[in-house]
Amino acid sequence: MTPATLIRRVRLVDLSGDGSPATGSGEVDVAIARGRITAVAPRLQPAGDQAVIDGEGRWALPGLWDAHVHLGQWSLGRSRVDVSSADSAPAAAALMAAALGRPGVSDLVVGAGYRSPTWPEPPTVDALDRATGQRPVVLISGDCHNGWLNSAALARFGLAPRAGVLLEAEWFAVLADVVAAELAQAGPRSYAAAQQEAARRGVVGVIDYEFEPGFRRWPERYAATGLLRVQTSVYPDDLDEAIASGVRSGDVLAGRDGVPMLTMGSLKIISDGSLNTRTARCVEPYPNADGLAEAHGVQNYDLDALTQLLAQARAHGLTAAVHAIGDAAVSTALDAFEATGATGSLEHAQLMATADVSRLARLGLTASVQPAHLLDDRAVTHQLWPDRADRCFPFASLAAAGVRLAFGSDAPVAPLDPWLAISAAVHRGDPDDAPWNPAQALSPVQALAASVRGRIAPGEPGDLVLLDDDPLCPDFSSAEAARRLRWMDVWATVISGVPA
């Protein structure tokens, strides 16, 4: 039975204002029973069966959510070889070669984090073969939109020989198999550890977009490893199975002591590519597009195909989450939402036409954005999108238009750490750097509101985070606020009334 909990002496962080409210100074008690808040008052008397947590005047915030993760891949981070430091193809291949001799390395060796657009030469299968030999080796790009395999790995996953990397749809099909093989080696403990680490940062829930039929895989997994609230998803390849099973968005797939903890989410569609692979679909061509198969980027699903998928999702009770990074892909996604009346979210919305900001608001869609990406993409944006950098990550414009923002990490592309995202949104860069396009920065209260669900009020889920410092950072500059938020101390995380 979920225990009753009384949290004593906390100060509620006020997220209801216009961007510059003061934190409430009065201390209150918060009572939680059966997974929901039952009372908030200056002084509540504990019942005999209540567990008591003394907040000692700390700041209380609704639990943080990460609205876009690939939890399986994030949980595998410790077993993957970090090649993010590589500044060339030979350097990345050498890092993988060095990893082959480490104790405990399994048959399949996976590296992650390479970003090749700035390399002097492209990654090739031949270069990886020379460094790694006959062991199957897979490298996953930092944005997860391409994969670099040696010949042994190509053979292992049933692929024909090739000279270079795999991109987009072809790669995503292989990535699903790679992740399944990694998880089989790692076992369920990796999922449990990843959730525990997230809870220590104040995360109470995630929306999982791993490349799998989550509605089928997650119930058993949750029984074995569940800690956070999880909203799972389905991709087009498994949509027919999801429809046949009768699952609809919002359905409860698993609970804990009668409290819904695992729910069905959206149909996830990756409509275009990414900036770093120069496959995000743009209105204008990429500069120096020689050698690109598509000078404007890749549209994985054209308007007709996207419209058909959204109509199918809507007809069967599923919301839609459409990945769209380039401005052309964003416009196409909005056209499909408008044509079908489907509801849901636009994922990433990294580069947008000005007119599409108000259109996104009019359609009532959520902008699911990842502020930490601007830290990694700042330099490459000025290299690959120098003529459109001012329209990237338009957070303030979206907020001003009335669009609901939901922050996520896209882990493992960025760490599953909401404070990194909040900090990046507030300062538009690392705290020690000059901000990038500061007119698009958000206030701390706006960034925090995009990272939580609900309020600390009776009837709301019993999910709270207790902080040692005031996260609204009153009278701080954006750099000072970003520094405090980046390293915010989380004293306790309470999920459904239970300390995590």
**DSSP letter string, 312-335:** HHHHTT--EEEEE-SHHHHHHHHH
How does the average pLDDT of the chain come out, rounded? 94
Q: What is the pLDDT of residue 288?
A: 84
Residue-wise burial string across 31-48, b where 16 or more C-beta atoms lie within 10 A, e elsewhere: bbbebbbbebeeebeeee
The reported pLDDT for the residue numbered 393 is 98
| DSSP string across 144-206 | SSEEEE-HHHHHHTT----SS-EEHHHHHHHHHHHHHHHHHHH-THHHHHHHHHHHHTTEEEE
Is a pLDDT exceeding 80 seen at residue 3? no
DSSP annotation of 79 reads G
pLDDT recorded at residue 136: 95
Distance CA 180, CA 177 (A): 5
pLDDT of 165 higher than 90: yes
Angle at 152 between CA 148 and CA 153, to 5 degrees: 45
112, 82 contact by CB (below 8 A): yes
Residue 176 CA to residue 29 CA, distance in Å, equals 46
Mean pLDDT of the 482-489 span: 97
pLDDT band, residue 21 (cuts 50/70/90): very low
HSE-CB at 211 with a 13 A cutoff on CA atoms is 21
For residues 333 and 328, what is the distance between their CA atoms, to the nearest angstrom?
A: 9
Q: What is the pLDDT of residue 467?
A: 98
As a whole number, mean pLDDT of residues 25-54 equals: 93
Q: How confident is the model at residue 466 (pLDDT cuts 50, 70, 90)?
A: very high
Q: What is the pLDDT of residues 422-457, one digit of tens each?
A: 999 999 999 999 999 999 999 999 999 999 999 999
Q: What is the pLDDT of residue 19?
A: 40
Instruction: Give residue 22's pLDDT.
Output: 40
Give me the residues paired with residue 270 across strands: 323
Average pLDDT over residues 208-233: 97
Q: What is the pLDDT of residue 17?
A: 64
Residue 290 is predicted with a pLDDT of: 83
Cis before 412? omega within 30: yes
Give the model confidence (pLDDT) of 348-398 as tens digits.
999 999 999 999 999 999 999 999 999 999 999 999 999 999 999 999 999
Does 209 or 180 have the greater pLDDT score?
A: 209
- Residue type for 198, please? A
